[in-house]
Amino acid sequence: MCPVERQADNRLNFFRTNGAGEYKSREFSKFCEEKGIVHEVTALYTPQHNELTERRNMMLVDMTRCILKGKGLPHGYWGEVVTIAAYILNRCPTKRLKFVTPEEAWSGAKPHVQHLNIFGSICH
């Protein structure tokens, strides 16, 4: 059982990647076969094959740009702001999950958001 499966107490069934070389090794193919994981490969340079992921990725990029520009921060904070944007998105309900949050779908517990502040707030 891999760490993701242990954390979610759930089995990984599908793993989708583009046709790039990161996951083309015989060793990885053998691993997937042994674990019963279906490795789906989409064609290179065809984001249309995984529109949900592409849309979510675009939301992350847009949120990051808005936060950086809204607070006048340099692009050097890009990584931290992407992490914050992903944290927020994982605590927002989605239509795809029947208006359940990704965090709740993953952990089974409704996420708490009382600790969230406006980005750039003064902290003590």
pLDDT, one tens digit per residue, over 64-106 is 999 999 999 999 999 999 999 999 999 999 888 899 998 998 8
pLDDT band at 27 (very low <50, low <70, confident <90, very high): very high
Inter-axis angle of helices 51-71 and 78-89, to 10 degrees? 120
33-58 pLDDT, tens digit each: 998 989 888 877 777 777 777 888 89
pLDDT at 124: 53
Query: b vs e for 51-70, b when ≥16 Cβ sit within 10 Å of the residue's Cβ?
Result: eeeeebeeebeebbeebbee
Q: Is the pLDDT of residue 112 over 80?
A: yes
pLDDT at 89: 93
State how far the Cα of 73 lies from the Cα of 71, in Å rounded to an integer. Answer: 6
For the whole model, what pTM was predicted?
A: 0.67
